Structure 1
């Protein structure tokens, strides 16, 4: 052993921590950061243009950190919908994170619950997908936590920078510029790349039709009905296709 103070011990990183793998995760996630920042910018503008004050918008983006849920709740808040409708809509829109949590849980079940809760807060769609591409199995592997952090932290920062910039930009832009449609454009930009198979396409078509037919419902409940109808349809079509494939095997 080389010299040093008696009893001194070298600093040892936890088994899950590896700076090199953190940098690897960061590099993999870099291409997504510009899109995340732009999306945050649009959502920030949409929040203030919907009627939220700057402090309310800042609190929402920092506490909620869920662009699709934020955009879904904004028209409900503007319409004065009951709080349970706002929460129910946001819950339904974000149900996919239950799946994400189930996929990540086996990889990090050994961590303290507070750390898992913090990681869950900064998790996002793209970051979870990129992590699972790198670590598709639950087998122990060096640097899993570092890789996940390398994806999550920059993603969170890019969103917050874009969203906060949008909040102040939106508060400074005159109403006659007509930026109230920004939230709708953001949803369209998010939805199109996600329509990757027939099940997703069927879900989008049914959700769109339901939203139009249920437009007259009070408190914007047509939006909640459309989300539920689209999700159920996509799940049904996906299950039917899987069953059909199984029967041909």
Structure 2
């Protein structure tokens, strides 16, 4: 094996390794998704296809609920689009590190981009080294998350009819805990802390807004608060102007 191939393999395996602690958070959600899909009216094949082609836990849950309620397709598409708008922020953050790649790389990396993969990948890209193969790290993380999610969703579908009232088990606590664990390492400055606290408070205040619009509003509130805190921090005191 030549040196470039060896380094790429190292990056790939490092991406898988660093994502392993986050894989457990997908277990309850994948299982519950499978259980709900089995009773929502979707066929087994359609539920598997949704998991494989959509690959977005929150959107899949929302879509399953709307399908069960016989919601028009246009509303389902719009709602899931709104929920996933946060991925535009992820993409904008990673683009400076990936813009040099050809489309055959950027398209699959965009499809496989999840919250967990973004969290570990952005740390890798921010490290000050000259490695030209950091995108292989993201690929490793993406593959680990994708295979993990498909496995638990498929298992949930197989056992769906045998899991009584899966939502009442309280397993959904794993996902918030996972997200908190991903966010904490980024809270290193006061503006970021303000951003996180405002977004968290806004998410609680907007919880009852339909179609999960509260997620978008909370993200915007956090961004505005963080930017405002950054500007106040950078501004000189009034007496020094």
- TM-score, normalised by the number of residues in structure 2: 0.77
Contact (CA 8 Å) 1:15, 1:142: kept in 2 or not? no
What secondary structure is seen at the aligned counterpart in 1 of 2:25? Answer: helix
Distance in 2 between the 1:109 and 1:85 partners?
A: 33
Indicate how the Cα distance of structure 1 residues 178 and 41 shifts in structure 2: closer, same or farther if over 3 A, else same. closer
Contact (CA 8 Å) 2:37, 2:157: kept in 1 or not? yes
In structure 1, what is the equivalent of residue 74 of structure 2? 84
| 1:126-150 Cα deviation digits (max 9, x unpaired) | 2222122122069752431322222
Indicate how the Cα distance of structure 1 residues 147 and 167 shifts in structure 2: closer, same or farther if over 3 A, else same. same
Contact (CA 8 Å) 1:16, 1:144: kept in 2 or not? no
| 1:21-54 Cα deviation digits (max 9, x unpaired) | 3222222222222323443223222332444332
- TM-score, normalised by the number of residues in structure 1: 0.75
Q: CA deviation at 1:57?
A: 1.0
| 1:128-187 Cα deviation digits (max 9, x unpaired) | 2212212206975243132222222112111111111111111x316xx222457x853x
Listed as ranges, the matches of 1:31-110 within 5 Å are 31-110=21-100
Indicate how the Cα distance of structure 1 residues 131 and 230 shifts in structure 2: closer, same or farther if over 3 A, else same. closer
Of 104, 112, 131, the residue aligned with 2:121 is 131
Of 225, 229, 232, the residue aligned with 1:244 is 232
Gaps of 5+ in 2: 185-192
> How many residues in Structure 1 have an aligned counterpart in Structure 2?
226
Gaps of 5+ in 1: 1-10, 215-221
Distance in 1 between the 2:203 and 2:50 partners?
A: 26
Distance in 2 between the 1:48 and 1:246 partners?
A: 54
| 1:46-95 Cα deviation digits (max 9, x unpaired) | 33244433222111100100111112333222222222222222112111
Listed as ranges, the matches of 1:124-203 within 5 Å are 124-136=114-126, 140-170=130-160, 172-173=161-162, 177-181=164-168, 186=172, 188-191=173-176, 193-194=179-180, 197-203=193-199
The structure having more radius of gyration, on CA atoms, is 1
